[in-house]
Structure 1
Amino acid sequence: MPNHSNADAPRSRAPWWFTLAGQLLQSWVRIRRDPAEPATLLQAGVPVCYAIERDGFSDALILQRACREAGLPSPMQPLAGTRRRRSVFALARRDGWIFGRIRSRTPNEPLGQLVHSLEGFPERDIQIVPVSIYVGRAPNRDSGWFRVLFSENWVMVGSFRRLLALLLNGRDTVVQFSAPVSLRKVLAESGDIAPERFARKIARVLRTHFRRIRTAVVGPDLSHRRTVVDSVLNAEPVRAAIAASAAKEKISHAKAWRKAHKMLLEIAADYSHPVVRSVSFLLSNFWNKLYDGIAMHHFDKARAVAPGHEVIYVPCHRSHADYLLLSYQLHVSGVVVPHIAAGVNLNLPVIGPILRRGGAFFMRRSFKGNALYSVVFNEYLAQLIDRGVPMEYFIEGGRSRTGRLLAPRAGMLVMTVRAFLRAPRRPVLFQPVYIGYEKLMEGNAYAGELSGKPKEKESLLGFLRGLKVLRQRYGHVALNFGEPIELNPLLDATGTDWRAGSGDPDARPEWLNDVVDQVAERIQININRAADVNPINLLALVLLATPKHAMAESDLLTQLELSKALLEELPYSDRVTLTPMNPAGIIAYGEQMAWIQRVKHPLGDVLTVSGEQAVLLSYFRNNVLHLTATAAWVACCFLNNRRMARATVVRLGTLIYPFIQSELFLPWDSDGFAAQLEATLDFFIRRGLLESRSDGRTVERGPGQEDSAFQLKVIARGLLQAFERYYITLAALAKHGPHTITGSELETACTLTAQRLGLLNELSAPEFFDKALFRGFIQKLREQKIVWTDEAGKLDYDSALEGMVRDARVILSRDVRHSILKITQGGGEKEPPAETGEADTAA
């Protein structure tokens, strides 16, 4: 083993009582080292001196044992080349048995001794290793309720409380070794500086280091909520808003102040570490009753880039469980629980105070017409960012009812960026998180809302009624951490000196909206790039693509194998995770979860999905629909065409891509999508689903009755309904003509048409008539300058609209087009003639 010890120092054994105490402690305290092998951090042959955050007998015992078990030099031996009797020093000490006080002695004395020991000996060096010790950090199911009161926090407790913490939480002790600091190197970089001043500088650096580590592990030192509330109310923007409110409403300044104070108490979190620990203790049992397992992927990458940043967690929003799941998993993984922006509708009796003490702060759905509330909320958010409090919010604005990512709402992002611009001390890092379920507690409610039922208002009674969900099992949950997004590079790309405007709370530069839009789009794209494909997603993709949601078992096995091969051979991103189950295991799991039923038959079993289950299952298909968008487009091209030019598949794909990209938040530019189409064509050719003709210029599929044609049809169904929605919009617009209909009227007309078409064809996809999807498509038509609003507020359109209608004939069958035209136009009027030479009609 490399020699890391203070070998030149005279050996000194620890006092007998210290050794005895260590032996007694060993049977009770369980230590987890981070990293597990800290010896790899040290430089061989250089004396080691440990720096700990707080002095204390128990900390010395824990450090001694951790070093012994890791094969590190003992902190209790003299330090080579110095007069120090121990190879450890503390930054702060506390006297007293129960209610101690901090001693005036500083670490400058031992640091000064270390600096003086190097004087006149240029060959000497000392490596200072910061060691953080946390007692009672990680909860588990064996933890007692009372133990959470003595978990690690920011308060420097006395010896008696530390003893209680060891007795109650000693088995959850973490010793974190940080990379050593070369005293010689830092001394050389500091130039000609007095030893006393240099010692103070090193002490400041170490304090900052320990504060950063403790913030990451325990959370920011928020003190009491009153501290934050006072800071917000004393901020200049809030004081000005109070004065303006008093003048506008003709009330006294004191009454306006009380009004602002009441608003702030409605908003502000009241973070309590004991409550977080208590809730974590309860949730460990709750999750075990509800889920079969919770997995996190790529979390180590997220934790590695977080230090030194203001971290904003931005997960997708699919269930009320999202709030608790992410916070719980972060807590048990040793990361501080973020403050979560929650709708004020969740501030219910009993539930609200618990959420508030768990880090939730509440916001109203709209700030319009309430200038005072807007200023108070913005200032509160700015205070959190200024204090380095990690946050979490959902930029979709609400839970997705369809399983797709919703178009982002930029309100919280705008407030975050503006707060950072005021005081850009700590760079902001947005951390996207994909949350994937196998069954949703709210599934039936979502299906009802999409079919026209009103959303049920949150209430305590509704919450109590909802406890019946505990009777069911909801499978596995995955939390995938996507590629983080740093704000500073996006601000630098604006080409302006954005730091020059810092400090102005009302600053709203012209480029702000563009930066926020970029951040929002990247967040959604990176969430999708971290998708988890579970067995239920794959079953939904395949079974819902058949007319009766049924498939022979042999065909289902083949299609599942093809879907997995597609995702493996053409990876969407390096952060997508895929179930390791084989096709047979996926089917068995689907039956176990009661998503699919087996119908026995002498000629081979059939797997089917009931009508109600099919509607619910569409949610899980939509979770991962973006992963197969490229393959679905290629397959769509061969639904009604036996043969197509390879260049035509790519050309039409790049034309339709802006609309698919906007709806599914795809990551490629036009050239990147074209490359994906080429790779997908090659994949289908390798698999025998397509054949290459004419030296690769033409691609052909087999006859309609062959298995290859059936497999392509199943893949194509993933995007087909999107193209049908596009065609409904174009047909409705063409029916009314230019200058006759507004954007909102067109949305309504399209929604009604889709609903009627769904009734006629028994579609099991509620998102088919989702008004938001029509709104997004119309907005994209505007961005592409195909549609615009005239002076009267009516829609006008370009001749390119007719070209899009002609191109639709390549994808949509005559029957589908006729059905849509019949509903939108009241009869079967003719379409514009199609271009010739694009494709050969299938036999």
Structure 2
Amino acid sequence: MQNMTADSPARSRAPWWFSLAGQLLEPWVRIRRDPTEPASLLKAGAPVCYVIERDGFSDALILERACREAGLPPPMQPLAGTRRRRSVFALARRDGWLFGRSRQRSPYETLGQLVRSLEGQPGRDIQIVPVSIYVGRAPSRDTGWFRVLFSENWVMVGRFRRLLALLLNGRDTVVHFSAPVSLREVVDEAGQAEPERFARKIARVLRTHFRRIRAAVIGPDLSHKRTIADAVLNAEPVRAAIAATAAKEHISHAKAWRRAHKLVMEIAADYSHPVVRSASFLLANFWNKLYDGIAMHHFDKARAAAPGHEVIYVPCHRSHTDYLLMSYQLHVSGVVVPHIAAGVNLNLPVIGPILRRGGAFFLRRSFKGNALYSVVFNEYVAQLIDRGVPMEYFIEGGRSRTGRLLAPRAGMLAMTVRAFLRAPRRPVLFQPVYIGYEKLMEGKSYIGELSGKPKEKESLIGLLKGLKVLRQRYGHVALNFGEPIELTPLLDAASSDWRAATGDPDAKPEWLGRTVDDLAERIQVNINRAADVNPINLLALALLATPKHAMAENDLLAQLELTRALLVELPYSDRITVTPMDPPSIIAYGEQMGWIRRVRHSLGDVLKADDENAVLLSYFRNNVLHLTATAAWVACCFLNNRRMTRASVLRLGRIIYPFIQAELFLPWDSDGFVAQMQGTIDFFVRRGLLEASGDGRVLERGPGQDDAAFRMKTIARSLIQAFERYYITIAALAKNGPHTISAGELETACALTAQRLSLLNEQSAPEFFDKALFRGFIQKLREQKVVWTDEGGKLDYDRGLEDMVRDARVILAREVRHSILKITGVDGDMDAAPPKPAAHVPEDSGSEDLHRRHVDAEHHQNDPHA
């Protein structure tokens, strides 16, 4: 290839100091050329001019050596037919020394000079060869994490950092030669364009080429602190908000702009591939010390659904480690790490910048009173959506302190939907993820918060104090990927002309709110449909159903087997996963994890959860409470009744279902729930827990001391506290009367009543008096038109609500009812009085049967052993 240039001067005219530097660098650098024989790309007879992406002395040394080893024309020789002393130039330049005096020229000047050199010489050509150089492009998983910090990325680094990169990663250097561009052919196609204008056009094409190659080699540029701030600030909604702020507050436009810029910097992620790679090495050791294993289920289905979509990961929120677990598992599985919406409370010194470089962007808890912040944040999310950046956020708004899914807060969902409506270029896919733990680092703090202690503010000192939790083992973790939800079909169902709303960033069609609420509900339902049932969940379901959280070993073995069989034979969904452990292994594992202890006894060992563990176990029971809700309802019907008709169980189930559904995010409609109840009743009959007579129309359980009755009661008690909360709410309403109490006041009164009842009865579940659960039930009562708000903001209801108090006799034991009535101050005679006829209720009432007689009298009798 020595003769490949038309005018072949000396092999190289590089300065002596340049050659010396190349010799010093050579032992530290091992070059891999792509393609291996780049000389085959060149056309004989035409001079070659190399163009590199970034100005750098080390890049020039590497290029010179790569060309020498490949037999290519040297870049440091003069370019034949021009006045250029070197056959190479860089598109991106910085102050400093490199190619002699030519360092002062911009790439436009160089390209313009090359174009002019062809004028008047139609037979002359110059080959422009783009060359991409990557140092430490792709360290292997076994490479030391420190090297990853200096692997190739999108940032134009300084000389010292580049030197460290060469010393650490120089043996993984890739020089990518692209096919040459004939400058003559491009000039002829352009016609009579001015050389300077033509040069700028070529430079833009070359920049696009280098970006495409770099994205293919090391991934897309996600360093949004550098690339997204201008886009956000130049967007029309933000510019308008800046102008409005300046006018409203009587400040200069420049000052308002600086405020907006500061907000972007506060919000934006600063994604760094090296930091993510480094964090993956650190987290691998961290997880090994903390957990016994991390499992992902149905990830292959999630991966298959993702191509071509803007993916939004929407996991449940159980722990601060959720962020890290998701990102780590996606990264090691070869999936791009999403940008994560994190509360600004996590933007701590040291920790905040690391999280930001791992893809976290920060949002304030409230946008109220700051219109500029709201517009800037919305625009930032819109830019992420527009650029196809995967995102992750928690629609619960915070970590669940009870183990249940929280009522969704749809703010981020609304922003996402509106961003898509503004520019629906790429379809949006929401990916629900269930995260299941066997032990939580935050467990004790959650219990304290539910008991009334103030939430401890996140701080670096608090984080350092919390490192003591690393001394413990936390078992296994499961990440279950649920059924994805596509946004476009939801919009099609909401409005046939939803595309008419696109293009307007301020558009708020009337159907938007309903669609976002429906989307939030579906996400929560699909998270629950992907639950993982681990050994601790099963132990919690069984032991917390007993007064002293203790059970004879034989009884516990039988209960674990029954519950596991129920989940397997009547699967909640096709994405539920259940531990493969058998009952003896589950008990042994619970002892090993320290959740339960064995009390030796000559008549048979007893397994017991101590008081503190019992409170903590309620969290893990609540994780899977929805899976046994149907069975628990059927079993509840037989807590205080020996015999009921199947029709009564099903009818009452239809009435109570909307309230259970709202609390536990159950997936069925009313008919679907009836089908589930039918299957559950048949399961209980097969297992001998119920006896069916009269062609299956009449159901009967055994006497109270019977083993089958014990199994049924254990299942029932997982849900009984929900009915006690419902009873508390209705009793408090009855006590205060109509037009006397608002929804907020009722919520507070109910929480205080439940808290007192918990103290008297030693309830082990602190969520029993969680105000959020009462809030959800009151809201559902309003939706069902059982209660409504009058003009003065107070609750009104039908007098038949008092009959609902009496209907609770089907489910709740007499002593529990009387305790609640005593605390609320309701006249105890009301519980014993005969039912009153229903009075008028507003139209479209959803409670038409709630105070109907609950049992067929000929088949209902009290059980003296219950």
TM category, shorter: 0.7 to 0.9
The count of residues paired between Structure 1 and Structure 2 equals 699
CA distance in 1, matches of 2:617, 2:715: 17
The normalised TM-score by structure 1 is 0.79
1:98 equivalenced with 2:119 (yes/no): no
- Which structure has the larger Rg? 2
User: 1:332-481 alignment to 2 at 5 Å?
Assistant: 332-481=332-481
Cα distance between partner residues in 2 of 1:139 and 1:464: 32
Residues 342-364 of structure 1: per-residue CA shift (max 9 Å, x gap): 00010000000000111100000
Q: CA deviation at 1:236?
A: 1.0
1:424 alignment partner AA: P
The residue aligned with 1:294 is 294
Alpha-carbon offset, residue 102 of structure 1: 9.2
- 1:146 and 2:110 aligned: no
Query: How many angstroms does 1:833 deviate by?
Result: 2.4
What amino acid sits opposite 1:251 in the alignment? Answer: I
Distance in structure 2 (CA, Å) of the matches to 1:805 and 1:735: 11
Would the aligned equivalents of 1:421 and 1:501 in 2 still touch at CA under 8 Å? yes
Amino acid at match of 1:833: P
Note the residue ranges of structure 1 that are not aligned, 5 or more in a row: 1-55, 65-74, 79-83, 85-91, 105-132, 171-203
Distance 1:389 1:638, change over 3 A: same
Q: Counterpart of 1:440 in 2: which secondary structure?
A: coil
**What is the distance in 2 between the residues matched to 1:729 and 1:155?**
59
Alpha-carbon distance in 1 for matches of 2:285, 2:675: 48
Deviation readout 1:606-628 (Å, 9 max, x if unpaired): 00011111111100000000000
* CA distance in 2: counterparts of 1:734 and 1:695, whole angstroms: 41
Q: How far off is 1:218 after superposition?
A: 6.1
Amino acid at match of 1:98: I
Structure 1 pair 641–281 and aligned structure 2 pair: CA distance change class (3 A): same
Q: Is the 8 A contact 1:147 1:168 kept in 2?
A: no
> Which residue of structure 2 lines up, in the alignment, with residue 236 of structure 1?
236
Asked whether the 8 Å contact 1:308–1:427 carries over to 2, the reply is: yes
In the other structure, the counterpart of 1:677 is 677
Whether the aligned pair in 1 keeps the contact of 2:298 and 2:480 (CA below 8 Å) is: yes
Contact residue 147 and residue 169 of structure 1 kept, 8 A:
no
Q: CA deviation at 1:101?
A: 7.3
Q: Which residue of 2 aligns with 1:840?
A: 861
Between 1:363-372 and 1:827-836, the stretch displaced more is 827-836
Distance 1:295 1:730, change over 3 A: same
Which residue identity lines up with residue 686 of structure 2 in the other structure?
R
Cα 1:462–1:566 shift into 2, 3 Å = same
The change in CA–CA distance for 1:137 and 1:394 in structure 2 (over 3 A counts) is farther
Q: What is the aligned partner in structure 2 of residue 580 from structure 1?
A: 580
**CA deviation after TM superposition for structure 1 residue 147, in Å:** 3.1
1-side partners of 2:218 and 2:681: how far apart?
51
TM-aligned CA distance change 1:415 to 1:827, over 3 Å: same
Q: Which whole-Å CA distance do the structure 2 matches of 1:710 and 1:77 have between them?
A: 82
Distance in 1 (alpha carbons) for counterparts of 2:299 and 2:311: 14
User: Given residue 296 of structure 1, which amino acid in structure 2 is its aligned partner?
Assistant: M
Paired with 1:318 and 1:222, the residues of 2 have a C-alpha distance of: 28
Per the alignment, residue 625 of structure 1 pairs with: 625
Secondary structure of the structure 2 residue equivalent to 1:641: coil
* 2:688 is equivalent to residue 667 of structure 1: no
Q: Secondary structure at the match of 2:336?
A: coil
Partner residue in 2 for 1:731: 731
Alignment deviations for residues 533-560 of structure 1 (CA, whole Å, 9 cap, x no partner): 0000000000000000000001000000
State TM-score, norm by structure 2. 0.77
Contact 1:291 1:475 in 2 (8 A): yes
Alpha-carbon distance in 1 for matches of 2:544, 2:698: 30
Q: Provide Cα deviations, 1:82-106, integer angstroms capped at 9, x if missing partner.
A: xx9xxxxxxx9989663687999xx
Name the Cα RMSD after superposition. 3.0
- Residue 551 of structure 1 is matched in structure 2 by 551
Amino acid at match of 1:840: Q
Encode CA deviations 1:496-517: one digit per residue, 9 max, x unaligned: 3111221111111110001100
- Residues 169 and 285 of structure 1: CA distance in aligned 2, closer, same or farther (over 3 Å): farther
Query: Matched residues in 2 for 1:708 and 1:102: separation?
Result: 82
Would the aligned equivalents of 1:143 and 1:281 in 2 still touch at CA under 8 Å? no
The 2-side partners of 1:373 and 1:346 are apart by 18
CA contact (8 A) 2:495 2:511 kept: no
Q: Secondary structure at the match of 2:603?
A: coil
Deviates more, 1:819-828 or 1:508-517: 819-828
Q: Does structure 2 conserve the Cα–Cα contact (< 8 Å) formed by 1:139 and 1:332?
A: no
Q: Is the 8 A contact 1:150 1:169 kept in 2?
A: no
> Structure 2: how far apart are the matches of 1:732 and 1:169?
74
Provide the C-alpha distance between the structure 2 equivalents of 1:286 and 1:453, rounded to a whole number of angstroms: 30
Contact 1:316/1:396 (<8 A) preserved = yes
- SS of the residue corresponding to residue 717 of structure 2 reads helix
CA contact (8 A) 2:139 2:148 kept: no
Instruction: Give matches, 1:59-74, under 5 Å.
Output: 59=34
Counterpart for residue 774 of structure 1:
774
Cα distance in 2 between the residues matched to 1:213 and 1:563: 54
Q: Is the 8 A contact 1:139 1:280 kept in 2?
A: no
SS state of the match for residue 143, structure 1?
A: coil
Contact 2:732 2:824 survives alignment (8 Å): yes
Q: Per-residue deviation at 1:568?
A: 0.3
Aligned pairs (5 A) from 1:70-85: none
Task: Give the residue type in structure 2 aligned to 1:751.
Answer: A
State the 1:809 CA deviation: 1.2
1:513 and 2:534 aligned? no
Give, in angstroms, the shift of residue 151 of structure 1.
Answer: 4.9
Q: CA deviation at 1:423?
A: 0.5
Other structure's SS at 1:469 match: helix
Identity, % of aligned positions = 77
Partner secondary structure for residue 493 of structure 1? helix
What residue number does 2:567 align with?
567
CA shift in 2, pair 1:559/1:828, >3 Å: same
Structure 2: unaligned runs, 5 residues or longer: 1-30, 44-50, 54-58, 64-87, 92-106, 108-133, 175-204, 836-852
Any conservation in 2 of the 1:138–1:332 contact (CA below 8 Å)?
Answer: no
The alignment partner of 1:478 has SS state of strand
Distance 2:807 2:480 in 1: 38
Q: Distance in 2 between matches of 1:401 and 1:432?
A: 20
The answer to whether the 8 A contact 2:135-2:173 is kept is no
8 A contact 2:431–2:485 mirrored in 1: yes
| Letter of the structure 2 residue corresponding to residue 783 of structure 1 | E
Q: Residues 210-262 of structure 1: CA distance to partner in whole angstroms, max 9, x if unpaired?
A: 979968x9654235522200111111111111111111111111111111111
The corresponding residue for 2:488 is: 488
